[in-house]
Amino acid sequence: MRSGGLSARARALAPVIPAWSLSAWTYPLWLAVVAGGLLARPPLEPEAALLSAAWWQWVGVADAPGPTLPVLLIHLGWWAFGVSEWWARLAMPLFGLGALLMIGPTARALWPGHKRVSGLATILLFGCGAFIANAGLAVGSLVTLFAAVLAIHATALAYRGRRYAGFGLLGVALGLGIATTGLSGLLLAAPAALAPLWHGDRPARRTPWYAGTALALAAALAVTAPWVDLAAPGQPGRPLVWMPIVLIILLYPWILWPALRRSVARRLRRLDEPGPRLCGAAALGAVAMIVAGGHADGEAVLVLVPPLALVAARLIAAQDPKPRDFHATLPGVPALFLGLVLFLLNIIPVAHVDALWQRLAGGDSALPIWFGGSSLFGGFALLGGGFVLAQLAPRDLLARALQVALLPVLLAATLNLEFVVSLRRFFDVEPLALRIQAAQAEGRAVAVLGEYGGEFDFAGRLRERPTILADATAALAWSGERRDGVIVTRLQGSLLHLPARPLHIGPAGDDWAALWSASTVLETGGAVLRRRF
């Protein structure tokens, strides 16, 4: 009787549990993900371009790229606290936190009569693989993410009758987008520009709406155009044909969550409210931004997450799916699989795996040099943590959503653990960068063979930008003109097969990086410039 009474009391109290009591857990979890990444990892390849641009503009190099908002924010912190890596890597993640704080109020503005939608939207945004993957990185896409949420929020406010506040915030959102991505940031105005598709108002009422939208656009351009390079080219990335695969990975674990799939199947056609249609317009704008950028990477896809999270939250709250035991089993399978792979990598010799990879992918390709550096800790963490999370069966809808959101958090924590235990030495390019700085201090010219993302610039606090050489022919010609110069190359394979001794060699992410004197390049006839040995 007593247990039955307690159960009845719990059921009676369940409807009055505020949404923030569970969704608020996303904020300390965000702090854990970001702080763990800053402490465990060195700057990674996606961060190199922004850190490099910030450094060259700080030292005043003549051919430095044009200013952007992320660069100016980094400079503001350097002016206040001095030049430091921690601020350069923390400034952008703060905008990710801003997006997390804003999406709940945005959901309430879209659906004021549905209280649980705001908590669900917060959890769905936080628990998305795209958000967790970028949450602790110094990437400008986090500013665009915040601007995207702010643009939807502003449009919702204007729709609810708060025109001055709505269009004022829309101008701020567009300004942030333009100052970060250039003219493609104007596409954040898609929800307001496509209002006839979701608003449903009479044509006579559209004139003040479009006047407000036009004023927001004009204000954003007037503020940003004088100092932002609106035609700046985007960063290289994966071709758009990768988009389906990238979306599947970055929308994990929600794309595998049975509750969401059932809600979409049952409710999508019946949602004839303006809110979902507004989010659909925002999603169209996000897709247009991705196409305008010309590549499908985690940073590019991030702007698509807020409208999808808002619609998904509305669908789930409308359907209110019944609790089902072990609902996180399917989303937990990838984590368990990765844990098994990490575990097996410590049992099977890496040479065997590399030989098999070369047979499948071709003789000129090789596995990343860090592939054999994983430890058993990561495997045990994923196997144990993934199994526990998959077996829980909470009854509350928000608790079930938070449970699934913990899966990408577990992956991020495991990655940080791997960096602490074994992977950091493969990705820390500071020793190489300091050797490049020393060569420049000696008055020696430095060049980089092949593609270069600027990963040595800020790490070594270089004073001159390295010359980029397209191929071995250009490298030989450059060496002939600067016999005391230094060329940085990337290579794969066995270091025992190198035809000469480099000035310095060390790991640089997927490959080795070597510093060769120009005289050695000439003496070997360019043999040291080969990609694989």
Phi/psi for 467 (5° steps) reads -75, 135
Taking a C-beta distance cutoff of 8 angstroms, is the pair 121, 110 a contact? no
Which pLDDT value is given to residue 170?
95
Which pLDDT value is given to residue 19?
47
Which pLDDT value is given to residue 117?
92
Which pLDDT value is given to residue 2?
38
Single residue among 412, 427, 442 that ends a domain in this structure: 427
Within-domain flag for 17: no
Which pLDDT value is given to residue 258?
87
3-state per-residue secondary structure call for 99-157: HHHHHHHHHHHHCCCCCHHHHHHHHHHHCCHHHHHHCCCCCCHHHHHHHHHHHHHHHHH
Smallest CA-to-CA distance from 188 within 304, 314, 69 is with 304
Residue 396 burial class via C-beta count within 10 angstroms: exposed 0-12, middle 13-18, buried 19 and up: middle
Which pLDDT value is given to residue 96?
96
Cα-based distances in Å from 57 to 50, 54, 158: 11, 5, 39
**Strand pairing report for 511-517 and 504-508:** antiparallel
Single residue among 405, 427, 449 that ends a domain in this structure: 427
Residues making up the chain, counted from first to last? 533
Taking a C-beta distance cutoff of 8 angstroms, is the pair 304, 134 a contact? no
Single residue among 427, 459, 477 that ends a domain in this structure: 427
Taking a C-beta distance cutoff of 8 angstroms, is the pair 41, 416 a contact? yes
Same domain? For 255 and 389 the reply is no
Which pLDDT value is given to residue 351?
66
Same domain? For 129 and 216 the reply is yes
> Measured between alpha carbons, how far is 199 from 194 in angstroms, rounded to an integer?
9
Same domain? For 349 and 377 the reply is yes
Same domain? For 78 and 156 the reply is yes
Which pLDDT value is given to residue 509?
87
Same domain? For 309 and 349 the reply is no
Same domain? For 295 and 340 the reply is no
Residue 40 tokens, joined:
């465990």
Give the list of residues 6+ apart from residue 230 with CB closer than 8 angstroms, or none.
178, 182, 183, 224
Same domain? For 158 and 99 the reply is yes
Cα-based distances in Å from 315 to 177, 247, 261, 262: 28, 20, 10, 9
- The percent helix, strand, coil of the chain (3-state, each to 5) is 70, 5, 25
Taking a C-beta distance cutoff of 8 angstroms, is the pair 41, 418 a contact? no
Within-domain flag for 312: yes
Same domain? For 506 and 396 the reply is no
Same domain? For 292 and 416 the reply is no
Taking a C-beta distance cutoff of 8 angstroms, is the pair 335, 411 a contact? yes
* Cβ count near 208 (within 10 Å): 12
Residue 344 tokens, joined:
């097996």
Query: How many helices, marked H, and strands, marked E, lie in the chain?
Result: 26, 5
Taking a C-beta distance cutoff of 8 angstroms, is the pair 107, 116 a contact? no
Q: What is the maximum alpha-carbon separation in the chain?
A: 92
Same domain? For 267 and 306 the reply is yes
- The total domain count for the chain is 3
One pLDDT digit (tens) per residue for the chain, 533 residues: 333 433 343 343 344 445 457 888 999 999 999 999 999 999 998 899 899 999 999 998 867 777 889 999 999 999 999 999 999 999 999 999 999 999 999 999 999 888 889 999 999 999 999 999 999 999 999 999 999 999 999 999 998 888 899 999 999 999 999 999 888 889 999 998 888 777 765 544 677 888 999 999 999 999 998 887 776 545 556 677 778 888 888 899 999 998 888 888 777 666 677 888 899 999 999 999 888 877 777 777 899 999 999 999 998 887 655 666 678 888 888 888 888 888 777 777 666 666 666 666 665 667 788 877 777 788 888 888 888 888 887 878 888 899 999 999 999 999 999 999 889 999 999 999 999 999 999 999 999 998 898 999 999 999 999 999 999 999 999 999 988 999 999 998 778 888 889 999 999 988 899 999 999 999 998 899 988 88
Same domain? For 397 and 515 the reply is no
Same domain? For 352 and 392 the reply is yes
Structural domain of 95: 22-319
449: enclosing H helix or E strand: strand 446-449
